Structure 1
Amino acid sequence: MAEQSAIEWTDATWNPVTGCTKITAGCDNCYAHRFSERFRGVPGHPFENGFDLTLRHERLDQPLRWRRGRMIFVNSMSDLFHKEVPKAFIDAVFDTMESADWHTYQVLTKRSPRLRDYMSKRYADRVPPAHIWTGVSVEDRKGAARIEHLRQARSAVRFLSVEPLIGPVGPVDLTDIHWVIAGGESGPSARVMQIEWAREIRDACRVQGVPFFFKQWGGFRPKSGGRELDGREWSEWPTAKRMVG
């Protein structure tokens, strides 16, 4: 677990699973893949096997040992709902999150049908915990189909990570969505984000009353400096982690 995170919308990361496989255009320049593969074959390194999917059983109880409450991004280096992650292991991750309820967890996936089905069954006869947030990644209009799967999931807080934004998404229905993050792609070979794509998301949030957080321009820097789209200037986060301009 990383006690601090450079990701602006979270405090820390917890990776009981590492490694993944690319399934959409949004995965093409994956930072986690790029980072992990640098250490493939290095004996004893946590990423000795590169970005191969790996269950980290020894990390399952880490949040229980972290006594000060924080916002935790779950599996920043993987996808908990990858088809190769056994349901029993997902259960163990959720058991830990439910037990260590002084933290707030952000579970983000591109495998939205599995997220929907899992949440709907786990919480079929009880209220989903308010400290476990679920979200889906959306990179373009095709990826926006995941929003409906998220809406169908039994979850207390639902959020979108519209990053890397590599194409127009809208029109977008944000009914039962509680928070939206947006941002451009960074790193080598970063694809350009058009200002209009980000404005479309921002404006949809304003009209539909959903908190919006603009994370970064990525590899593109507008001459105006970008203050118009800076989510830190005007929007507010969900109550557990609020930023008001």
Structure 2
Amino acid sequence: MKQPKAPKTKPSIMENSKIQWTNYTWNPWYGCQKVSPGCKYCYMCREREGENAKDVKRSKTKFNYPIGIKEPKLIFTCSWSDWFIPEADEWRDEAWGIIKKTPHLTYQILTKRPERIKENLPFNFESYKNVWIGVSVENQDYISRLDYLQDLPCVTFASFEPLIGPIHWNASMSNLDWCIIGGESGNDFGNYRYRNMELSWAGDLVLNAKKNNLPCFVKQLGTSQAKNLGLADRHGGSITEFPQNLQVREYPGLYVQKCKNRTCADQQLKLDF
């Protein structure tokens, strides 16, 4: 079945996602500001070119959309913003309420503002058994973001995407429940290009994840490697085109026995690749 395309100038608020590690995206608000090098060629800014992408707005029509989803699904939350962005403080409690009302949905919350996580969790957060919280780490300079995940009573993960530099394994990575690896996608023209992800950077992360029993999901090789290798998928997202050592797509639910802060890992989540 053909996936719907996101509108050019409006956010994909809730749809079947093309992101390989989730089912749906949900944007109760949209708009963001760049905070680190990984944001340089942000796809949200690309799709909202001509608008003020920094302007954070609440969705007028889709804020409550998850309530209508009846089957268990993975929901990537705030793909066009940041769940913990300050401008959303007045709406976040209401959004937490929606998450609480939909325990059959698993919400994957990914942030580049980890210093705001703990102060913006809801009361009795340990009862929210359907939330995963992760941080984006694009290179070694931002590995300290992982420290903010320590002791959270939920599934924790890191997204090494766009991976724009090598990352050295450290103790904080051993405390994760999941990691995602991906190269940057983009265009050959205009203001939104792409940077290269060396295959060795991804390979080192995969190898160390295996050594430390950390479930790992290689999302894509990125546009640069897709061009270098002559891949059919222009962003290098087809797992059958990956080098053998990178053909890894695992989920934390498959590793119940090793996870530390598990609250919902017994859900054996399956996606169509």
TM-score, normalised relative to structure 1:
0.85
Does structure 1 residue 65 correspond to structure 2 residue 63? no
2:14 and 2:62 in contact (8 A); partners too = no
Alpha-carbon distance in structure 2 between the residues aligned to 1:214 and 1:186: 14
Alpha-carbon distance in structure 2 between the residues aligned to 1:98 and 1:75: 17
Per the alignment, residue 43 of structure 1 pairs with none
Structure 1 residues 1-245: aligned runs within 5 Å? 1-37=13-49, 40=51, 50-56=53-59, 58-86=61-89, 88-119=90-121, 122-123=122-123, 127-152=126-151, 154-173=152-171, 174-188=173-187, 189-219=193-223, 220-221=225-226, 223=229, 225-232=242-249, 235-239=250-254, 240=267, 241-242=269-270
SS at match of 1:3: strand
Structure 2 vs 1, CA of residues 106 and 126 (structure 1 numbering), >3 Å: closer, same or farther?
Answer: closer
Structure 2 vs 1, CA of residues 146 and 199 (structure 1 numbering), >3 Å: closer, same or farther?
Answer: same
2:16 and 2:23 in contact (8 A); partners too = yes
Give 1:126 shift: 5.8
Alpha-carbon distance in structure 2 between the residues aligned to 1:148 and 1:83: 20
CA RMSD of the aligned region, Å? 2.2
Structure 1 residue identity aligned to 2:80: M
Deviations 1:96-137 (A, max 9, x none): 101111111111100001013323xx35x5624221111111
Structure 2 vs 1, CA of residues 225 and 50 (structure 1 numbering), >3 Å: closer, same or farther?
Answer: closer
SS at match of 1:127: helix
Give 1:81 shift: 0.8
Of residues 215-224 and 183-192 in structure 1, the stretch that sits farther from structure 2 once superposed is 215-224
Of residues 5-14 and 154-163 in structure 1, the stretch that sits farther from structure 2 once superposed is 154-163
Give 1:213 shift: 0.5
Per the alignment, residue 45 of structure 1 pairs with none
Gaps of at least 5 residues in structure 2 are 1-12, 188-192, 230-240, 255-266
Deviations 1:192-223 (A, max 9, x none): 11122112211221111110010010021465
2:178 and 2:251 in contact (8 A); partners too = no
Alpha-carbon distance in structure 2 between the residues aligned to 1:184 and 1:203: 17
Structure 2 vs 1, CA of residues 13 and 168 (structure 1 numbering), >3 Å: closer, same or farther?
Answer: same
SS at match of 2:214: coil
Structure 2 residue identity aligned to 1:81: F
Alpha-carbon distance in structure 2 between the residues aligned to 1:207 and 1:91: 39
Deviations 1:163-215 (A, max 9, x none): 00001121233233111000100112211111221122112211111100100
Structure 2 residue identity aligned to 1:198: A
Gaps of at least 5 residues in structure 1 are 41-48
